[in-house]
Structure 1
Amino acid sequence: MARTTEGDGKPVPQRLLAAATRLFADQGYDRTSVQEIVEAAGVTKGALYHYFGSKEDLLHEVYGRVLRLQQERLDAFADADAPVERRLRDAAADVVVTTLENLDDTKIFFRSMHQLSPEKDKQVRAERRRYHERFRALVEEGQRTGVFTTATPADLVVDYHFGSVHHLASWYRPDGSLTPQQVADHLADMLLRSLRR
């Protein structure tokens, strides 16, 4: 049985994910070999296959861990005891911050998503759809209760915001003039302005 830690004491799955993320971001999923990943992680191929099964499983997990984090946080915001405008703003800002804090993961996913098997692609799309539906439910709640305008359909509002989020990887630079929180505040405020009555 593979050991759960090797080398520097970090759990092997964590080390494999960190190495794969760095290599996929630097040289692309296609051009990264399993051998390069295990060498960078300081583990054996057996350890990789024990925890992930394949290079594709690593790619799936790179994005999956960010999506799970974002879903947990969205659920917490959506379930909070606060006005719907506050809950939506917090959720809208959070998805920007968590995307920017995991920018390599996001870049890898959008560059390499088409390389997932049909089964894994379907799974990821279902997870993303669940996230978007929960987010849309906040918009619809505000529209139903008269807090937000109904002039723009909720689906378009959600697509507008997530279009901006998905585009972040193409222009945001960590050494630029805006912090992740500042970008998040601007985008969340724009979203709320588009919904005000």
Structure 2
Amino acid sequence: MATNITWHPSLSRSERAAYRGQRGLTLWFTGLSASGKSTVAVALEQHLLHLGVAAYRLDGDNVRFGLNKDLGFSDGDRAENIRRVAEVARLFADAAVVAIASFISPFRADRELARALHASHEHDADGPLPFVEVFVDVPLAVAEARDPKGLYRRARAGEVKHFTGIDSPYEPPENPDIVLRTDQASVEDCVAQVVRWLEDRGLIPAGKTPVADVPPAP
């Protein structure tokens, strides 16, 4: 760890929130591959933006094309993957943006580290950042039957090693803030469930009028 560094103060989180007119927070989607995390996260991001709520989605596959392209899928690399993403999500939340992180994040310890990074920071004077754990809960059989990328099939054939749910464990959340059953509810209903939860707790403004639809790019 570098020691010859100095923290440079900027606007406070409360000032950023006042300027933007919303609070920042992190929604952390966790669940098996093919549980529906990304599908719901994409729809949720679109819906929040439609409501005029600044939001940005961090996707498990997408960050491995850039930020985490040097990481594999060993336990150590998975932990570092989640640590880096949690730090990025915290920066978004600190900037008064709703960060939507969609990651298998199979280990409880890694998810608790992500929560802890939001709970306190030596340079934050505004208290902890909201961290909302969203468990996208479907049975393994359902996720494996979906298998949109063919990864379960390849894992069963031994072509993919350390695959969560097959030869690497998934540790479900013990006390998630929100549980989504994508095998029992539509994507739209799951999005509405998350939005209601946030509105009920004052984390996003309730009853916002949707902004005009953005026309498609030419």
Q: TM-score, normalised by structure 1?
A: 0.30
Q: Which has the higher strand share?
A: 2
Q: Greater relative contact order: 1 or 2 (C-alpha under 8 angstroms, separation 6 or more)?
A: 2
Q: TM-score, normalised by structure 2?
A: 0.28
